Structure 1
Amino acid sequence: MPTNGEYINPVVEQRADPWVYKHSDGYYYFTASVPEYDRIEVRRSATIQGLKDAIPKTVWRKYDTGPLSANIWAPEIHYIRGKWYIYFAAARTSETKDGLFDHRMYVLENEAENPLEGDWVEKGQVVTRWESFALDATVFEHRGELYYVWAQKDPDIEGNSNLYISKMSDPCTLTGEQTMISTPEYPWEIIGFRVNEGPAVLKRNGRIFISYSASATDFNYCMGLLTADESADLLDPAVWRKSPEPVFQTNEESGQFGPGHNSFTVSEDGRDVIVYHARNYKEITGDPLYDPNRHTRAQVFGWNEDGTPHFGVPVKDGVPR
């Protein structure tokens, strides 16, 4: 059996784009993309491993028609200034393949102490510079400012999505400059699709790290890392340095394929944990987006001597690590 800070993967089966948030009440709150892409669920547990058996509560369902009617992707749950928020992406039902990439970003708000209770209120679309494919928003606070980081298609840039950052005037509204901080450029970022998506923020050692995922959602999916000094102007693209190589990727020896779209939390004993999805097989029949077996996984990670995170390799299924 695993002990504190050890986990047996997968933690939750058939849940992609996993987000785990440890709240001040001691509970781990979990949400992720469900295989049907039709709803948002939240569950909680006193332990990360316990999320496997925690009863999920559906807090929101897609509409039958309109802009919130298809492909509900990558929800994240955050507690910001006394309220709960869920950020997610949704598309509109379409008879054409183009509808698959018609996503915009939206917010739900809940004033209850426990987000499994109370009412989740739709706060509308998070409006950006363009009306274009946009998804995978995350939010963090730094030095009293609230920041929003997301993936979006710039119509004037080749590719599927770049990463952007903006300040927020409140948890639902961007304000001021919107800066591109990463675009797919390395060979490992452009396999199948030219993608930078799924940002997650980690603040340690005087720096701000943003992990992100790249390439198609098959075994080529992998993670990159952006780094900035905590005292820098985070809206200046020049302060962000990109790792030239993936920092987390497929490992055939451990049987883990396409790890990515991660979040960060801390273990029960206070160590840093990366939560991510991956498959345990390489070959996929049909569109990878409709293969349901991207399972949620968790593992403790360490730090390099230079103060950067060392994620190692995605660990084997079924072994306490």
Structure 2
Amino acid sequence: MKSKKMTKLPAADFLVRQETAYIRSHTVTWESPSDNQYYLEYSYDRSVWFALNGGNAIPLPQDVLEVTPALQAHDSSGCKLSLAALETLQARYGAPEPVYLSEAEEVTLPSPDAEPPSKITVSYTNGMREERTVIWDGLTGTIQEPRYAAPLISHRADPYIYRHTDGKYYFMASHTDAGHNLDGRYQYLYLILRCADTLEDLTDNSGRYTEKIIYAHEPINGGAMSPHLWAPELHYIHGGWFVYYTATISDQSSWRIRPHCLACTGSDPMRDPWIEKGPIRTTVEGDIAFTDFSLDHTYFSHNGRDYLLWAQKTNNISDILIAELADPWTICTPAVCLTHPEYNWELHGFPVNEGPAVIRHEGRIFMTFSASGTDALYCVGLLYADENADLLKAASWKKCPHPVFQSSSVTGYYGLGHNSFTRSTDDSEDLIIYHGRQEARYLGEGDYQPLYDAGRNAYVGKVFWGSDGMPSFSVPGAPIAARRADLTVTAKVKTI
């Protein structure tokens, strides 16, 4: 097959990699680092800076500090760093840069009257190549970028979107009440199912979706505490509709929570009744599953086997576990821990791994998860396994040592996490559905309780699959082009 001729696009200034980059440390207001703990940012032009390690502290050995005194001085201009040294840091602490268009297919028409192609091939800075739609005005075309309302849906945390086989989209999330912000009595009282024909139609105020409360719970302990109806997900499992959600199992304490299941009695989840199946249970006697604070369960099927992933505390540390399902509300194998909080970006506020979500690509199974307390440093980590591996063995999964999706002060998105995945309406691309905040607030700011802050909204982002087969989630809210001009292509007419 003849390779397509591509034109390089002007690279963004702050992504032009010269012989050196720059690194600097900065102070934070939410905690005091211990000796040799630094908050580091890097830049290619000393203008746009990227926070390493999800904005969390990085321990540096003394020999590093001796050769980079500007780090200790908090020099805002930064000190020089070789690209090789930066790449070593990025391998350990992440490279939270935007993914931008880098090349576009050259279009040559046989005559001035010829119709230009409706799609052209483009490349991105992470090595991804795909076809994108172009809208033409004569010989000038505009590459179409993803267009979704931002936010897609307001005041909804832990967003989950399921696209059914008939093309319809279903949305569920943890329901918060902005009218009673920070008051736990009014938060997380309902499970609401929203349905639309397209992803775009799900958005608030579109007028093109239907919505139904499928479960409600009054505040507990005399109306003083939320029942913590969290992280609902709609799944279609072997011909039946099921909703997974977290809820309290106590009439006195809202913190005794466990995974639960609802089942639809008919074929239409928007019209037919839902019944409680109760807490998720295990057939394995004496197993650790669901014996303590447990939440955020999700389902996936692979090679004819059904799996449940969930988060569970042991000694007040939240891990992510996996087991096989016998039916949608019963696991039948011992719980296996896949990931345990170990890095600084997983330990801010609380040692937390939670909110697992699964996506498949080119022979691998990827599991994202969320880490740390639910403030502005909440972020997304990643595990992955070969599709032919034993998924019930922890050794089958590899863990990235850094967050793969994090807050961005440049775009104004904070506390990213608890995501799900879906496909675009035209089925051309994978999308990440996540929640984020629009203000940077942190645990430890007085009596601030981020859990009861209704400021988390549901957003849509594009998944960029790199040339190495790994996903990149770019920067929240970033466009696909560094400059608007990079979306413009010009067709040439072939001359004889």
TM over 0.5: yes
Residues 217-256 of structure 1 deviation map (CA, whole Å, 9 limit, x = unaligned)? 0111000000000000001101111111100000000000
| Sequence identity percentage | 41
**Partner in structure 2 of residue 250 of structure 1:** 407
**Partner in structure 2 of residue 110 of structure 1:** 264
Residues 126-154 of structure 1 deviation map (CA, whole Å, 9 limit, x = unaligned)? 12524210000000000010000000012
**Aligned partner of 1:240: which letter?**
W
Higher radius of gyration, 1 or 2: 2
Which of these residues, 176, 179, 198, is aligned with residue 47 of structure 1?
198
**Partner in structure 1 of residue 432 of structure 2:** 274
**Aligned partner of 2:476: which letter?**
P
CA displacement at 1:301 relative to structure 2: 1.6
Equivalent positions of 1:183-198 (< 5 A) are 183-198=340-355
**Aligned partner of 1:114: which letter?**
D
Equivalent positions of 1:73-152 (< 5 A) are 73-92=230-249, 99-128=253-282, 129=288, 130-152=290-312
Question: Which structure shows the bigger proportion of residues in helix conformation?
Answer: 2
Residues paired across the two proteins, number? 311
1:300 aligns with 2:462: yes
**Aligned partner of 1:276: which letter?**
Y
**Partner in structure 2 of residue 162 of structure 1:** 319
Tell me, what secondary structure is at the counterpart of 1:101? coil
Which of these residues, 212, 229, 252, is aligned with residue 57 of structure 1?
212
From the superposition, tell whether residues 64 and 276 of structure 1 become closer, same or farther in structure 2 (CA, over 3 Å). closer
CA displacement at 1:208 relative to structure 2: 0.5
1:181 aligns with 2:335: no
Tell me, what secondary structure is at the counterpart of 2:153? coil
**Partner in structure 1 of residue 155 of structure 2:** 14
Tell me, what secondary structure is at the counterpart of 1:109? strand
Which of these residues, 154, 172, 194, is aligned with residue 31 of structure 1?
172
CA displacement at 1:283 relative to structure 2: 2.5
CA displacement at 1:92 relative to structure 2: 4.6
Residues 174-216 of structure 1 deviation map (CA, whole Å, 9 limit, x = unaligned)? 0012100000001100000100000000111101100000001
Moved more, 43-52 or 195-204: 43-52
CA displacement at 1:278 relative to structure 2: 0.2
Tell me, what secondary structure is at the counterpart of 2:395? helix
Tell me, what secondary structure is at the counterpart of 1:246? coil
From the superposition, tell whether residues 145 and 85 of structure 1 become closer, same or farther in structure 2 (CA, over 3 Å). same
Residues 239-277 of structure 1 deviation map (CA, whole Å, 9 limit, x = unaligned)? 111111100000000000011100000001221000000
Q: Following the alignment from structure 1 to structure 2, what is the Cα–Cα distance between the partners of residues 178 and 48?
A: 35
Does the 8 A contact of 1:191 with 1:216 survive in 2?
yes
Does the 8 A contact of 1:6 with 1:299 survive in 2?
no
From the superposition, tell whether residues 223 and 170 of structure 1 become closer, same or farther in structure 2 (CA, over 3 Å). same
CA displacement at 1:47 relative to structure 2: 1.8
**Aligned partner of 1:15: which letter?**
R
From the superposition, tell whether residues 69 and 113 of structure 1 become closer, same or farther in structure 2 (CA, over 3 Å). same
**Aligned partner of 1:110: which letter?**
C
CA displacement at 1:64 relative to structure 2: 5.9
Length-normalised TM-score, structure 2: 0.60
* Gap runs ≥5 in structure 2: 1-143, 177-186, 283-287, 488-496
Tell me, what secondary structure is at the counterpart of 2:334? strand
CA displacement at 1:63 relative to structure 2: 5.1
Tell me, what secondary structure is at the counterpart of 2:354? strand
Q: Which has the higher contact order (CA 8 A, sep 6+)?
A: 1
Q: Following the alignment from structure 1 to structure 2, what is the Cα–Cα distance between the partners of residues 148 and 298?
A: 25
CA displacement at 1:306 relative to structure 2: 1.2
CA displacement at 1:316 relative to structure 2: 5.7
**Aligned partner of 2:170: which letter?**
Y
Does the 8 A contact of 1:12 with 1:295 survive in 2?
yes
CA displacement at 1:298 relative to structure 2: 0.5
* Gap runs ≥5 in structure 1: none
From the superposition, tell whether residues 19 and 263 of structure 1 become closer, same or farther in structure 2 (CA, over 3 Å). same
**Aligned partner of 2:440: which letter?**
K
**Aligned partner of 1:141: which letter?**
S
Q: Following the alignment from structure 1 to structure 2, what is the Cα–Cα distance between the partners of residues 37 and 168?
A: 27
Which of these residues, 395, 408, 417, is aligned with residue 260 of structure 1?
417
Q: Following the alignment from structure 2 to structure 1, what is the Cα–Cα distance between the partners of residues 169 and 398?
A: 31
CA displacement at 1:113 relative to structure 2: 2.4
**Aligned partner of 2:246: which letter?**
A
**Aligned partner of 1:126: which letter?**
I
Tell me, what secondary structure is at the counterpart of 1:289? helix
Length-normalised TM-score, structure 1: 0.91
CA displacement at 1:39 relative to structure 2: 1.1
From the superposition, tell whether residues 251 and 4 of structure 1 become closer, same or farther in structure 2 (CA, over 3 Å). closer
**Partner in structure 2 of residue 309 of structure 1:** 471
1:232 aligns with 2:232: no
Q: Following the alignment from structure 2 to structure 1, what is the Cα–Cα distance between the partners of residues 304 and 478?
A: 40
